[in-house]
Protein backbone atom coordinates (compact mmCIF):
# COMPACT_ATOMS: atom_id res chain seq x y z
CA UNK A 1 0.00 0.00 0.00
CA UNK A 2 1.28 3.45 -0.85
CA UNK A 3 0.20 6.98 -0.08
CA UNK A 4 -1.52 9.64 -2.18
CA UNK A 5 -1.62 7.65 -5.46
CA UNK A 6 -4.02 5.15 -3.88
CA UNK A 7 -5.81 7.44 -1.44
CA UNK A 8 -9.13 9.21 -1.53
CA UNK A 9 -8.86 12.83 -0.42
CA UNK A 10 -11.53 14.01 1.97
CA UNK A 11 -10.57 17.67 2.43
CA UNK A 12 -9.87 20.68 0.26
CA UNK A 13 -6.29 21.39 -0.78
CA UNK A 14 -6.30 24.77 0.94
CA UNK A 15 -7.11 23.30 4.34
CA UNK A 16 -4.41 23.36 7.00
CA UNK A 17 -5.00 19.68 7.68
CA UNK A 18 -5.52 17.10 4.93
CA UNK A 19 -7.15 13.74 5.63
CA UNK A 20 -6.85 10.90 3.14
CA UNK A 21 -8.08 7.32 3.39
CA UNK A 22 -5.93 4.47 2.07
CA UNK A 23 -7.18 0.92 2.67
CA UNK A 24 -8.64 1.64 6.09
CA UNK A 25 -5.78 3.89 7.21
CA UNK A 26 -6.42 7.59 7.80
CA UNK A 27 -3.41 9.63 6.65
CA UNK A 28 -3.50 13.04 8.34
CA UNK A 29 -1.14 15.65 6.89
CA UNK A 30 -0.29 19.06 8.32
CA UNK A 31 -0.56 21.34 5.29
CA UNK A 32 1.39 24.53 6.04
CA UNK A 33 4.66 23.76 4.24
CA UNK A 34 5.63 27.43 3.74
CA UNK A 35 5.52 27.87 7.54
CA UNK A 36 7.30 24.53 8.21
CA UNK A 37 3.91 23.21 9.29
CA UNK A 38 3.90 25.37 12.41
CA UNK A 39 0.70 24.74 14.31
CA UNK A 40 -2.16 27.24 14.40
CA UNK A 41 -5.46 27.26 16.25
CA UNK A 42 -7.29 26.41 13.04
CA UNK A 43 -4.94 23.53 12.22
CA UNK A 44 -5.31 22.17 15.76
CA UNK A 45 -9.09 22.24 15.47
CA UNK A 46 -9.00 20.50 12.09
CA UNK A 47 -6.60 17.88 13.42
CA UNK A 48 -8.91 17.18 16.36
CA UNK A 49 -11.77 16.61 13.91
CA UNK A 50 -9.64 14.16 11.93
CA UNK A 51 -8.70 12.24 15.08
CA UNK A 52 -12.34 12.08 16.17
CA UNK A 53 -13.12 10.64 12.75
CA UNK A 54 -10.39 8.03 13.16
CA UNK A 55 -11.89 6.79 16.41
CA UNK A 56 -15.55 6.96 15.35
CA UNK A 57 -15.37 5.41 11.87
CA UNK A 58 -15.43 1.59 12.08
CA UNK A 59 -13.88 1.38 8.61
CA UNK A 60 -10.72 3.10 9.89
CA UNK A 61 -8.21 1.07 11.88
CA UNK A 62 -4.98 3.08 12.14
CA UNK A 63 -3.92 6.72 11.74
CA UNK A 64 -0.73 8.11 10.21
CA UNK A 65 0.30 11.68 11.04
CA UNK A 66 2.72 13.49 8.72
CA UNK A 67 3.74 16.96 7.57
CA UNK A 68 3.75 18.21 4.00
CA UNK A 69 6.83 19.58 2.28
CA UNK A 70 9.72 17.87 4.05
CA UNK A 71 9.03 19.08 7.60
CA UNK A 72 6.89 17.31 10.18
CA UNK A 73 6.05 20.30 12.39
CA UNK A 74 8.19 23.17 13.70
CA UNK A 75 5.99 23.64 16.77
CA UNK A 76 3.53 26.46 17.31
CA UNK A 77 3.38 29.42 14.98
CA UNK A 78 5.33 31.98 17.03
CA UNK A 79 3.97 34.92 15.06
CA UNK A 80 0.45 33.87 15.97
CA UNK A 81 1.60 33.22 19.55
CA UNK A 82 2.83 36.82 19.83
CA UNK A 83 -0.63 37.96 18.78
CA UNK A 84 -2.22 35.90 21.55
CA UNK A 85 -3.24 32.80 19.60
CA UNK A 86 -2.72 29.39 21.18
CA UNK A 87 -2.84 26.27 18.95
CA UNK A 88 -4.76 24.36 21.59
CA UNK A 89 -8.14 22.60 21.60
CA UNK A 90 -9.99 22.41 24.92
CA UNK A 91 -9.69 18.90 26.33
CA UNK A 92 -7.26 17.85 23.61
CA UNK A 93 -4.32 20.17 24.12
CA UNK A 94 -1.68 21.29 21.63
CA UNK A 95 -2.46 20.41 18.05
CA UNK A 96 -5.74 18.84 19.10
CA UNK A 97 -3.74 15.74 20.02
CA UNK A 98 -1.30 15.75 22.93
CA UNK A 99 -3.77 15.76 25.83
CA UNK A 100 -6.11 13.14 24.37
CA UNK A 101 -4.53 10.90 21.72
CA UNK A 102 -6.86 8.64 19.75
CA UNK A 103 -7.90 5.25 21.10
CA UNK A 104 -6.83 3.65 17.82
CA UNK A 105 -3.12 3.38 16.96
CA UNK A 106 -1.41 6.50 15.59
CA UNK A 107 1.90 6.40 13.72
CA UNK A 108 3.99 9.54 13.31
CA UNK A 109 5.77 9.70 9.93
CA UNK A 110 8.53 12.26 10.47
CA UNK A 111 10.51 14.00 7.76
CA UNK A 112 12.78 16.94 8.58
CA UNK A 113 12.17 18.79 11.81
CA UNK A 114 9.86 17.86 14.68
CA UNK A 115 10.38 20.72 17.11
CA UNK A 116 8.66 21.87 20.29
CA UNK A 117 4.99 21.07 20.05
CA UNK A 118 5.72 19.17 16.85
CA UNK A 119 7.96 16.79 18.79
CA UNK A 120 5.36 16.63 21.55
CA UNK A 121 2.84 15.43 18.96
CA UNK A 122 5.34 12.72 17.99
CA UNK A 123 5.59 11.74 21.67
CA UNK A 124 1.79 11.46 21.78
CA UNK A 125 1.83 8.96 18.90
CA UNK A 126 2.22 5.22 19.46
CA UNK A 127 4.83 4.39 16.83
CA UNK A 128 7.33 6.55 14.94
CA UNK A 129 8.90 6.20 11.50
CA UNK A 130 11.52 8.77 10.53
CA UNK A 131 13.46 9.82 7.47
CA UNK A 132 17.22 9.57 7.90
CA UNK A 133 17.67 13.36 8.16
CA UNK A 134 14.83 13.89 10.64
CA UNK A 135 15.59 15.74 13.86
CA UNK A 136 13.66 15.94 17.10
CA UNK A 137 13.96 18.77 19.59
CA UNK A 138 12.42 20.61 22.54
CA UNK A 139 13.91 24.12 22.19
CA UNK A 140 11.44 25.82 24.54
CA UNK A 141 14.09 26.78 27.10
CA UNK A 142 15.86 28.77 24.37
CA UNK A 143 12.70 30.87 23.99
CA UNK A 144 11.88 31.40 27.65
CA UNK A 145 9.24 28.67 27.62
CA UNK A 146 8.87 25.08 28.81
CA UNK A 147 7.71 21.95 26.99
CA UNK A 148 4.34 21.78 28.70
CA UNK A 149 2.50 20.00 25.86
CA UNK A 150 3.66 16.65 27.20
CA UNK A 151 7.37 16.86 26.45
CA UNK A 152 8.49 17.29 30.04
CA UNK A 153 6.96 14.01 31.21
CA UNK A 154 6.68 11.94 28.02
CA UNK A 155 10.30 12.35 26.89
CA UNK A 156 11.64 10.71 30.10
CA UNK A 157 9.15 7.86 29.65
CA UNK A 158 10.40 6.84 26.22
CA UNK A 159 14.04 7.91 26.50
CA UNK A 160 16.71 7.29 29.12
CA UNK A 161 16.45 10.03 31.74
CA UNK A 162 19.84 11.58 30.98
CA UNK A 163 19.04 11.72 27.26
CA UNK A 164 15.62 13.25 27.89
CA UNK A 165 17.04 15.83 30.29
CA UNK A 166 19.69 16.84 27.77
CA UNK A 167 16.93 17.52 25.25
CA UNK A 168 14.86 19.46 27.79
CA UNK A 169 17.67 21.47 29.39
CA UNK A 170 19.88 22.31 26.41
CA UNK A 171 17.17 22.69 23.79
CA UNK A 172 19.46 20.98 21.29
CA UNK A 173 17.93 18.46 18.84
CA UNK A 174 18.39 14.71 18.49
CA UNK A 175 19.05 12.94 15.18
CA UNK A 176 16.86 10.16 13.81
CA UNK A 177 19.69 7.65 14.29
CA UNK A 178 20.06 8.61 17.95
CA UNK A 179 16.29 8.53 18.46
CA UNK A 180 16.16 5.01 17.01
CA UNK A 181 19.11 3.88 19.13
CA UNK A 182 17.37 5.08 22.30
CA UNK A 183 14.02 3.51 21.43
CA UNK A 184 12.00 6.58 20.42
CA UNK A 185 11.84 5.68 16.71
CA UNK A 186 10.71 2.29 15.40
CA UNK A 187 12.25 2.59 11.94
CA UNK A 188 14.62 4.97 10.16
CA UNK A 189 14.16 5.00 6.38
CA UNK A 190 15.46 6.97 3.42
CA UNK A 191 14.44 10.62 3.34
CA UNK A 192 11.07 10.98 1.66
CA UNK A 193 10.00 7.42 2.48
CA UNK A 194 8.57 7.93 5.97
CA UNK A 195 4.90 8.00 4.97
CA UNK A 196 5.16 4.87 2.82
CA UNK A 197 7.03 3.07 5.61
CA UNK A 198 4.39 4.19 8.11
CA UNK A 199 1.68 2.87 5.80
CA UNK A 200 3.44 -0.50 5.66
CA UNK A 201 3.47 -0.59 9.45
CA UNK A 202 -0.16 0.51 9.56
CA UNK A 203 -1.10 -2.29 7.15
CA UNK A 204 0.49 -4.87 9.44
CA UNK A 205 -1.59 -3.52 12.35
CA UNK A 206 -4.77 -3.26 10.29
CA UNK A 207 -4.67 -6.99 9.48
CA UNK A 208 -5.35 -7.78 13.12
CA UNK A 209 -8.62 -7.84 15.07
CA UNK A 210 -9.63 -4.22 15.79
CA UNK A 211 -11.02 -4.87 19.26
CA UNK A 212 -7.85 -6.70 20.28
CA UNK A 213 -5.63 -3.94 18.88
CA UNK A 214 -7.55 -1.20 20.65
CA UNK A 215 -7.61 -3.08 23.97
CA UNK A 216 -3.90 -3.86 23.72
CA UNK A 217 -3.05 -0.19 23.23
CA UNK A 218 -5.30 0.95 26.08
CA UNK A 219 -4.02 -1.63 28.54
CA UNK A 220 -0.37 -1.04 27.65
CA UNK A 221 -0.73 2.65 28.54
CA UNK A 222 -3.06 2.41 31.52
CA UNK A 223 -1.04 -0.31 33.25
CA UNK A 224 2.24 1.63 33.34
CA UNK A 225 1.88 2.55 37.02
CA UNK A 226 0.20 -0.67 38.18
CA UNK A 227 1.87 -3.45 40.12
CA UNK A 228 1.68 -6.94 38.61
CA UNK A 229 -1.09 -7.88 41.04
CA UNK A 230 -3.07 -4.79 40.08
CA UNK A 231 -2.49 -5.45 36.39
CA UNK A 232 -3.80 -9.00 36.52
CA UNK A 233 -6.88 -7.82 38.41
CA UNK A 234 -7.63 -4.74 36.35
CA UNK A 235 -6.87 -6.13 32.90
CA UNK A 236 -10.10 -8.13 32.86
CA UNK A 237 -12.09 -4.96 32.12
CA UNK A 238 -10.12 -4.70 28.88
CA UNK A 239 -9.54 -8.34 27.99
CA UNK A 240 -12.84 -10.04 28.87
CA UNK A 241 -14.83 -8.15 26.19
CA UNK A 242 -12.20 -9.16 23.62
CA UNK A 243 -12.34 -12.85 24.56
CA UNK A 244 -16.17 -12.75 24.47
CA UNK A 245 -16.29 -11.10 21.03
CA UNK A 246 -17.27 -12.52 17.65
CA UNK A 247 -13.72 -11.78 16.50
CA UNK A 248 -12.33 -14.08 19.21
CA UNK A 249 -14.27 -16.92 17.58
CA UNK A 250 -13.41 -15.83 14.05
CA UNK A 251 -9.64 -15.80 14.65
CA UNK A 252 -9.26 -19.50 15.61
CA UNK A 253 -11.79 -20.52 12.95
CA UNK A 254 -9.85 -18.72 10.22
CA UNK A 255 -6.61 -20.29 11.44
CA UNK A 256 -8.12 -23.79 11.41
CA UNK A 257 -9.60 -23.23 7.94
CA UNK A 258 -6.35 -21.73 6.62
CA UNK A 259 -7.94 -18.50 5.44
CA UNK A 260 -7.65 -14.83 6.20
CA UNK A 261 -9.88 -13.77 9.11
CA UNK A 262 -12.92 -11.63 8.43
CA UNK A 263 -13.02 -9.26 11.39
CA UNK A 264 -16.32 -7.65 12.35
CA UNK A 265 -15.09 -5.50 15.24
CA UNK A 266 -17.74 -7.11 17.44
Judge contact between 30 and 19, C-beta under 8 A: no
Judge contact between 44 and 87, C-beta under 8 A: yes
172 part of the active site: no
Judge contact between 248 and 210, C-beta under 8 A: no
Q: What is the distance between the alpha carbons of residues 231 and 236, in angstroms, rounded to a whole number? A: 9
Q: What is the distance between the alpha carbons of residues 145 and 113, in angstroms, rounded to a whole number? A: 19
First to last CA, the chain: 26
Judge contact between 80 and 192, C-beta under 8 A: no
> Which of 14, 120, 172, 233 does the annotation list as catalytic?
120
> Which of 59, 140, 172, 180 does the annotation list as catalytic?
140
> ∠ CA 63-67-72 to the nearest 5 degrees?
110
Q: Which of 228, 266, 232 is nearest to 247 (CA)?
A: 266
140 part of the active site: yes
The DSSP secondary-structure symbol of 39 reads B
Q: Are strands 127-131 and 113-115 parallel, antiparallel or unpaired?
A: unpaired
Judge contact between 123 and 152, C-beta under 8 A: no
Q: Which residues are catalytic?
A: 120, 140
Amino acid sequence: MTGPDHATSTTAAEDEILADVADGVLVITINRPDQRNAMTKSAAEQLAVALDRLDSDPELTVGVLAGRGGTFCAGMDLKRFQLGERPVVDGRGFGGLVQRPPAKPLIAAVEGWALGGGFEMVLAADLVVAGASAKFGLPEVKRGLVARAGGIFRAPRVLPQAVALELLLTGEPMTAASAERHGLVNRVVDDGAAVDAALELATAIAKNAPLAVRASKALAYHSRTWTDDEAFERQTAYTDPVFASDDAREGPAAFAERRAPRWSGR
